[in-house]
Amino acid sequence: MRERFTTEMKEAMKAGDKRRLGTIRLIQAALKDKDIEARGAGKGQATDEEILALLQKMIKQRQESITMYDQGGRPELAQQEREEAEVISTFLPKQMDDAEVNAAIQAAIAETGAASMKDMGKVVAALRGKYAGRMDFGKASGLVKEMLPKG
């Protein structure tokens, strides 16, 4: 993934695509911070799963900003955030559709033997392990909650 960021940055420079170039630089700066954090924890560099989580977090931040800018009457800033989110999402694997997410949750519940809400953590952990970067875990947690028997 790191090599792809560098390659894409060079291509954006050659193409004169300022928005893409700026966004990739933001990703690399966030990744550097993540690496420093990982070294502090004695892990070396951030893993691909951590990089995917970082990218998802960056997209979520952009989406929250878009909402605030739209409400505040700043369409030009909202558009900038949309463009950045679009660039960041090109680095994520294809997102799962609702049917795939539901099937994955049912499989994870069966695999972990989850019998109640107490097992929700196990199910979400299994999903994170298999589908990092391909699933919105905020939505997935709600679905897991609905699918698990209460009690």
End-to-end CA distance of the chain: 42
Render pLDDT for 79-115 as a digit per residue (tens, 0 to 9). 999 999 999 999 988 888 889 999 999 999 999 988 8
Render pLDDT for 10-27 as a digit per residue (tens, 0 to 9). 999 999 999 999 999 999
Place of tokens 């050659």: 14
Q: Which CATH architecture does the domain made up of 98-147 adopt? A: Orthogonal Bundle (1.10)
Which segments of the chain belong to CATH 1.10.10.410?
98-147
Dist. CA 134–CA 48, nearest whole Å:
13
Name the class of domain 2-89.
Answer: mainly alpha
pTM above threshold 0.85: no
